[in-house]
Amino acid sequence: MTKTKKIEQMRFFLSEQMQLFRCPKCHKSFVQVEKNSFKCELGHTFDISRKGSVFFLIGKAPDDYSKNLFDSRRTVIQHGIFDPVIDYLSKKINNSGLVVDAGSGEGSITELLAHKINNQLLGFDISKNGVDLAVSGKTQSNLHYFVGDLSNIPLADHSVRAIINFLSPANYGEFGRILESDGVVYKIIPNANYLVELRHLKYQTNQKHFNYSNENVVNLFKENFASVESKKFSYKVAVKEISSELMAMTPLMWDAELRTDFEIDQITVDLTVLGGKQWTKKKKLKD
DSSP string for residues in 272-284: EEEEEE--SS--P
Residue 79 marked as a ligand binder: no
Half-sphere exposure of 142 (CA within 13 A, CB side): 19
- Give the span between the Cα atoms of 54 and 131, in whole angstroms: 9
The CA distance from 249 to 267, in Å, is: 14
Judge whether 106 is annotated as a binding position: yes
Spatial separation of the C-alpha atoms in residues 139 and 1, rounded to whole Å? 6
Known binding residue 44? Answer is yes
- 107 labeled part of a ligand binding site: yes
DSSP 1: -
Are the C-beta atoms of 239 and 268 separated by less than 8 Å?
A: no
Question: Is 194 known to sit in a ligand binding site?
Answer: yes
> Which residues are within 8 A (CB) of 276 and not within 5 positions of it... i.e. 6 or more apart?
184, 185, 187, 221, 222, 224, 225, 226, 227, 228, 229
Q: Which residues contact 281 (CB under 8 A, 6 or more apart)?
A: none
40 is known to lie in a ligand binding site:
yes
Residue 203: φ, ψ to 5°: -110, 150
Q: Which long-range contacts (CB under 8 A, 24 or more apart) does 31-35 make?
A: none
Helix (H/G/I), strand (E/B), else coil: 17: coil
Residues annotated in a binding site: 40, 44, 82, 106-107, 194
Residues annotated in a binding site for Zn(2+): 40, 44
Residues annotated in a binding site for S-adenosyl-L-methionine: 82, 106-107, 194
